[in-house]
């Protein structure tokens, strides 16, 4: 019997490592709540994690097995578990961030040292790892010179043209360790662990309060594989064909909202990609033409391709982080001088509360609080506002997103922030600064998204909303007395941002 250690792959379907372990069977499935990891997880993510673990446990129980849930240091728990089941090896799917790789190396060392062995002569336990979270592993797509890619367009061409693996088969009941044996194993390991802080249980999950994490403000969404599959199914009905035309329009809500699922692995990337193949076949046969008939120039085929390119962006940022783990907290791009970010706690607090007086920015920041989610276009706008209009360090924005997003994902979050701050790979050039008013007007012309999240502006015509920064104080008072004045002047801040970046480039007078 070999333990399979679930981490960011909270599913039994389309799971590369689990299928490989099940081929030998029987598998002992486990997950470890590691305080070192929980420290970095905001409340919406912890809630989604616990709900997804409950779904994972139920999937095992339906198959006559159970999920072992440990709490503590995996380097302590896994060797004990492996020893208790007399394992030859422990199997898991690879993590790619610096933190995940360090932890995995530690666990591997303690397994190799036989740290869990009850016997006097400890036996080394092997580790077997798989690429599962991605369609193409971070080392497999390189430039013709053999370097990792730093420009998305070139990466995308190779990613797009490579053959993709089919979804993995789901392990059958016979290949999983039965629930009774799991209960015995847990009892065995529990008596072994008595001296330390670590605990282990068969399928019993702590509550969010047990973990010392506050209840999130946002409402929960359906979690685990059932939630993810429902979202994918509903996206495939029609939104995937309207995606290209409307993905930048936040009020249209055509995007898949699969980001937390891909991040926690409640759905596998091969399953999502296979779904795009079905959608592509339908689009190519003209079966989606009626769905886009009200949209000028919309093409269902290129819409499916556009969605695939977002899946590729995810893997692009992942390979950037894999090859440059330090960029989690350091700029990817080196300027000659350091960027002179400002210290302005009041402005940062107004941005966090969604009270900047820039309607699209405030709507986004309030969507984040209300739903633990934010539309991609709006993420770009609020990130640009923080780094260019307020001239605050992207790391402050990243920390806030990490705390509040249910889909926070180190690679994508760092990638998105460094893109907006003009410090990342293939980033927005420093001189292309978003105008938050024009962005609002272009992507939310009827102010539908804005008024959903900013009640002070409900009933106000789109015109004054999109020209709020130009209105005189009397007019603002007459139109929306409760909505704040702009905290900065965009035109002036734009000039200051250009000067700041030119100084960083060593081009100042």
Ligand X SMILES: Cc1cc2nc3c(=O)[nH]c(=O)nc-3n(C[C@H](O)[C@H](O)[C@H](O)COP(=O)(O)OP(=O)(O)OC[C@H]3O[C@@H](n4cnc5c(N)ncnc54)[C@H](O)[C@@H]3O)c2cc1C
Residue nearest to ligand X (CB): 416
Binding status of residue 156 toward ligand X by CB under 6 A: no
b/e 149-159 (16+ beta carbons within 10 angstroms → b): bbebeebbebb
Tokens representing 78 are 């896994």
Element (H, E) at 27: strand 27-33
218-380-435 Cα angle (round to 5): 120
Rounded least distance, CB 231 to ligand X, Å = 8
Residue 32, φ and ψ in degrees, nearest 5: -125, 120
Please tell me the distance from the alpha carbon of residue 18 to that of residue 415, in angstroms, as a whole number: 29
Residue of 133, 185, 262, 460 that binds ligand X (CB under 6 A):
262
- Where does this chain touch ligand X (CB under 6 A) — which range of 146-154, 214-222, 311-319, 449-457? 311-319
Site of tokens 């030998």: 24
Residue of 9, 409, 426, 444 that binds ligand X (CB under 6 A):
409
| Residue 316 labelled as part of a binding site | yes
Please tell me the distance from the alpha carbon of residue 50 to that of residue 194, in angstroms, as a whole number: 24
Rounded least distance, CB 414 to ligand X, Å = 8
| Residue 256 labelled as part of a binding site | yes
| Residue 409 labelled as part of a binding site | yes
- Where does this chain touch ligand X (CB under 6 A) — which range of 88-96, 201-209, 413-421, 452-460? 413-421
| Residue 311 labelled as part of a binding site | yes
Nearest alpha-carbon partner for 393 in 351, 434, 359, 362: 351
Region label for 255, one of left (φ > 0), alpha (ψ between -120 and 50) or beta (otherwise)? beta
- Where does this chain touch ligand X (CB under 6 A) — which range of 50-58, 177-185, 308-316, 428-436? 308-316
Rounded least distance, CB 211 to ligand X, Å = 21
Q: How many residues bind ligand X (CB under 6 A)?
A: 28
Taking the least distance from each CB to ligand X, the nearer of 51 and 460 is: 51
Return the residues of window 225-254 that contact ligand X according to CB under 6 A: 247
Other Cβ atoms within 10 Å of 206 Cβ, number: 17
Rounded least distance, CB 142 to ligand X, Å = 20
Site of tokens 């960011």: 8
Binding status of residue 305 toward ligand X by CB under 6 A: no
| Residue 314 labelled as part of a binding site | yes
Residue of 60, 92, 152, 313 that binds ligand X (CB under 6 A):
313
**In this structure, which long-range contacts are made by residues 346-352, counting pairs with CB atoms below 8 Å and at least 24 apart in sequence?**
347/390, 347/392, 347/487, 347/488, 348/386, 348/390, 348/392, 348/396, 350/484, 350/487, 351/382, 351/385, 351/386, 351/390, 351/392, 351/397, 352/400
Please tell me the distance from the alpha carbon of residue 261 to that of residue 254, in angstroms, as a whole number: 17
| Residue 323 labelled as part of a binding site | no
Residue of 170, 181, 190, 310 that binds ligand X (CB under 6 A):
310
Return the residues of window 369-408 that contact ligand X according to CB under 6 A: 376, 379-380, 383, 401, 405, 407-408
Residue of 171, 416, 424, 436 that binds ligand X (CB under 6 A):
416
Taking the least distance from each CB to ligand X, the nearer of 258 and 437 is: 258
Q: Are 207 and 50 in contact (CB under 8 A)?
A: yes
Nearest alpha-carbon partner for 412 in 440, 449, 374, 386: 374
| Residue 313 labelled as part of a binding site | yes
Point out which residues bind ligand X (CB under 6 A): 247, 255-259, 262-263, 310-311, 313-314, 317, 376, 379-380, 383, 401, 405, 407-409, 412-413, 415-417, 420
Binding residues: 243, 255-259, 307, 310-317, 407-409
């Amino acid at each position: 019997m070999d333990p399979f250690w679930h981490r960011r792959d909270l599913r039994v379907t389309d799971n590369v490592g689990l299928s490989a372990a099940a081929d030998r069977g029987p598998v002992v499935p486990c997950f470890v709540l590691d305080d070192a990891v929980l420290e970095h997880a905001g409340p919406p993510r912890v809630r989604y994690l616990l709900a997804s673990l409950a779904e994972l446990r139920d999937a095992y129980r339906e198959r006559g097995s159970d999920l072992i849930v440990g709490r503590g240091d995996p380097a302590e728990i896994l060797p004990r578990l492996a020893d208790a089941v007399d394992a030859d090896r422990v199997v898991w799917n690879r993590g790619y961030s610096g933190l995940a790789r360090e932890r995995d190396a530690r666990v591997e060392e303690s397994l190799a040292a036989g740290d869990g062995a009850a016997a006097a002569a400890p036996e080394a336990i092997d580790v077997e790892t798989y690429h599962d979270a991605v369609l193409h592993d971070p080392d497999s797509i390189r430039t013709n010179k053999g370097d990792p890619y730093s420009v998305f367009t070139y990466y995308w061409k190779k990613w797009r043209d490579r053959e993709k693996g089919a979804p993995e088969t789901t392990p059958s009941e016979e290949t999983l360790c039965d629930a009774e044996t799991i209960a015995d194993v847990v009892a065995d390991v529990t008596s072994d662990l008595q001296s330390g802080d670590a605990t282990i249980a068969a399928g019993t999950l702590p509550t969010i309060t047990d973990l010392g994490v506050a209840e999130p403000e946002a409402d929960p969404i359906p979690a685990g594989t059932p939630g993810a599959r429902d979202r994918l199914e509903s996206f495939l009905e029609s939104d995937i064909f309207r995606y290209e035309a409307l993905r930048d329009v936040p009020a249209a809500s055509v995007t898949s909202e699969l980001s937390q699922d891909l991040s926690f692995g409640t759905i596998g990337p091969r399953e999502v990609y296979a779904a795009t193949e079905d959608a592509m076949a339908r689009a190519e046969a003209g079966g989606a033409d009626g769905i886009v008939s009200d949209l000028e120039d919309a093409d269902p085929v290129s819409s499916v391709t556009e969605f695939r390119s977002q899946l590729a962006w995810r893997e692009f940022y992942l390979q950037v982080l894999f090859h440059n783990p330090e960029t989690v907290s350091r700029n990817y791009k080196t300027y000659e001088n350091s960027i002179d970010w400002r210290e302005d706690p009041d402005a940062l607090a107004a941005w966090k509360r969604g009270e900047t007086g820039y309607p699209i920015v405030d709507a986004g920041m309030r969507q984040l609080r209300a739903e633990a989610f934010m539309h991609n276009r709006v993420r770009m706008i609020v990130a640009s506002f923080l780094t260019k209009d307020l001239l605050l360090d992207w790391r402050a924005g990243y920390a806030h997103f990490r705390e509040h997003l249910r889909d926070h994902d180190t690679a994508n979050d760092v990638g998105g922030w460094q893109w907006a701050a003009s410090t990342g790979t293939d980033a927005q050039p420093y001189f292309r600064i978003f105008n938050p008013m024009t962005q609002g007007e272009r992507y939310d012309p009827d102010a539908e998204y804005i008024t959903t999240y900013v009640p002070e502006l409900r009933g106000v015509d789109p015109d004054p909303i999109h020209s709020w920064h130009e209105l005189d104080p009397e007019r603002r008072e007459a139109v929306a007395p409760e909505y704040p004045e702009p905290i900065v002047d965009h035109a002036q801040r734009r000039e200051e941002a250009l000067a700041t970046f030119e100084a960083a480039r060593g081009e100042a007078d």
